[in-house]
């Protein structure tokens, strides 16, 4: 019997995502000037106020207040009417030094024996239902919000848009787990108070359906575009009005959108957030590494869908387990346990090895802090940072390295494909 599956995303202006982006901007600045920095920074945003807290071990001094303001300005909170504005909000820093009890479990005389920054389990997932090996409902939800943001920043159409928004997509699947049609799309977007309520809602609904959705559809391959051809139920600003939003409408915290950051509810999640953490924290680095494994397994033809789990003990380099679930889609004559054993042999999952393989000791995290950490396009680019003394540093980085299909040939060889 066909079934429905739903995923949601939130925009860069959503209060939780504002907090994530500030936290990751701090990580990037620390790592840009001191690659060995240990960072665990949390951010809270509310009406007219930003609170920074956490633990850092680094040789660099930063103007963390200015970094927070720069992020807020880039997102688009630049008007006093939003009740949260880049240059007038208060920024309180309560960042202090990292606990030496944690640090002694991470740093080692031999870097290869670097211990995990915490205990816990991390998951990576991939499916061949999209070109990016991401779940379709989440991929479309991200695209809806990216288009809304692009339209808002261009300032030519839908000029009433404000930064905060959410999207949700429900897809009908066949018994064979193949997408059949889009059942419903929910879009809630913050907006100016520009007309009488009913006319205002009608205009926003019309623009989302006739401007945003066609731009999203055009980005998909033809076999996915057909999913839009049926009778889609649209819920556009279903409360009727969304003028009050952002950190003024809802307090934001780092790490509250971990399902948006990963797979939209497909697969599994170990519970640890990514943003605000340097790569010694396996919540982040091992989650990227398991995504890298999962994507390369599917791309190599080992299976159509896969979940990979790894777990650690704090201060210990070797993982406590590696688990693989192919959901019965394996194309090789091995059970999942045997596949997991080959994964263990192919991929060194010690924290230092992950950092080196995926080039994680570079300032690449701010870009990942909105619209998903997974399913993005790797790029080589130059980025610049300023420290607390005004020194500017330009760094060439490779982003989203965990999305590279650089192990496909090795996987094929190992599995005889």
The SS3 assignment for 71 reads helix
| Per-residue pLDDT, 112 | 66
Q: What does each of the 417 residues of the chain score in pLDDT, given as a tens digit? A: 899 999 999 999 999 999 999 999 999 999 999 999 999 999 999 999 999 999 999 999 999 999 999 999 999 999 999 999 999 999 999 999 865 555 555 665 666 677 787 889 999 999 999 999 999 999 999 999 999 999 999 999 999 999 999 999 999 999 999 999 999 999 999 999 999 999 999 999 999 999 999 999 999 999 999 999 889 999 999 999 999 999 999 999 999 999 999 999 999 999 999 999 999 999 999 999 999 999 999 999 999 999 999 999 998 999 999 999 999 999 999 999 999 999 999 999 999 999 999 999 999 999 999 999 999 999 999 999 999 999 999 999 999 999 999 999 999 999 999
| Per-residue pLDDT, 115 | 73
Strand-pairing partners, residue 360, are none
How many other C-beta atoms lie within 10 A of the C-beta of residue 5? Answer: 19
| Per-residue pLDDT, 105 | 53
Binding site membership for Mg(2+): which residues?
16
Spell out the domains of the chain, with CATH numbers in brackets.
3-9+136-245 (3.30.300.10), 16-103 (3.30.300.10), 120-128+257-415 (3.30.300.10)
| Per-residue pLDDT, 100 | 57
Total-model pTM: 0.96
Binding site membership for ATP: which residues?
14, 164-166, 241-242, 250, 256-257, 273, 277
How many other C-beta atoms lie within 10 A of the C-beta of residue 193? Answer: 12
How many other C-beta atoms lie within 10 A of the C-beta of residue 227? Answer: 20
Binding site membership: which residues?
14, 16, 42, 55, 98, 164-166, 241-242, 250, 256-257, 273, 277, 281
Pairing mode, strands 120-127 and 179-191: unpaired
**Residue 195 class from Cβ within 10 Å (0-12 exposed, 13-18 middle, 19+ buried)?**
middle
Binding site membership for K(+): which residues?
42
The CA–CA distances, whole Å, from 412 to 188, 326, 353, 405 equal 44, 16, 22, 12
| Per-residue pLDDT, 58 | 93
Pairing mode, strands 233-236 and 3-10: unpaired
The SS3 assignment for 165 reads strand
Binding site membership for L-methionine: which residues?
55, 98, 250, 281
Q: Please, are residues 45 and 91 in contact by the beta-carbon 8 Å criterion?
A: no
Q: Please, are residues 307 and 295 in contact by the beta-carbon 8 Å criterion?
A: no
| Per-residue pLDDT, 167 | 98
Residues 6+ apart with CB under 8 A from 248: 46, 47, 48, 82, 83, 84
| Per-residue pLDDT, 98 | 67
Name the E strands within 221-374: 233-236, 252-253, 305-312, 321-325
Q: Please, are residues 262 and 6 in contact by the beta-carbon 8 Å criterion?
A: no
Residue 319 sits at φ, ψ, to 5 deg, of: -65, 155
């Amino acid at each position: 019997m066909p079934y429905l599956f739903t995923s949601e995303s939130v925009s860069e202006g959503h209060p939780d995502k504002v907090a994530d982006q500030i936290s990751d901007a701090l990580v990037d600045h620390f790592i840009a000037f001191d690659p060995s920095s240990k960072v665990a920074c949390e951010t809270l945003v509310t009406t007219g106020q930003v609170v920074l807290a956490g633990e850092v071990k680094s040789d660099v001094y930063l103007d963390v207040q200015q970094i927070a303001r720069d992020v807020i300005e880039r997102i688009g909170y630049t008007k006093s009417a939003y009740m949260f504005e880049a240059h007038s909000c208060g920024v309180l820093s309560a960042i202090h030094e990292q606990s030496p009890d944690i640090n002694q479990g991470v740093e080692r005389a031999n870097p290869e024996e670097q211990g995990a920054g915490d205990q816990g389990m991390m998951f990576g997932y991939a499916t061949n239902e999209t070109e990016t090996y991401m779940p379709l409902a989440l991929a479309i939800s991200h695209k809806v919000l990216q288009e809304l943001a692009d339209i808002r920043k261009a300032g030519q159409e839908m000029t009433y848009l404000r930064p905060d928004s959410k999207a949700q997509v429900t897809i009908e699947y066949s018994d064979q787990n193949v997408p059949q049609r889009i059942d419903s799309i929910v879009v809630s977007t913050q907006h100016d108070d520009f007309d009488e309520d009913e006319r205002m809602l009608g205009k926003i609904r019309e623009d989302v359906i006739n401007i945003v959705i066609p731009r999203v559809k055009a980005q998909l391959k033809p076999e996915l575009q057909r999913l839009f051809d049926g009778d889609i139920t649209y819920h556009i600003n279903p409360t009727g009005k969304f003028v009050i939003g952002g950190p003024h409408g809802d307090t934001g915290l780092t790490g509250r959108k971990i399902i948006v950051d990963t797979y939209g509810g497909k697969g599994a999640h170990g519970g640890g957030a990514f943003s605000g953490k340097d790569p010694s924290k396996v919540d982040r680095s091992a989650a990227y590494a398991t995504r890298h494994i999962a994507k390369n397994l599917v791309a190599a033809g080992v299976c159509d869908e896969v979940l990979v789990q790894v777990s650690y003990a704090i201060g210990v380099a070797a993982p406590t387990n590696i688990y693989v679930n192919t959901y019965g889609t394996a194309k090789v004559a091995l059970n999942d346990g045997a596949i997991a054993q080959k994964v263990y042999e192919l991929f060194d999952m010690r924290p230092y090895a992950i950092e080196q393989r995926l080039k994680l000791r570079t300032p690449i995290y701010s870009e990942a802090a909105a619209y998903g950490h997974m399913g993005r396009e790797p790029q080589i680019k130059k980025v610049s940072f300023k420290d607390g003394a005004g020194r500017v540093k330009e760094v060439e980085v490779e982003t989203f390295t965990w999305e590279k299909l650089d192990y496909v040939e090795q996987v094929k060889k190992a599995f005889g494909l």
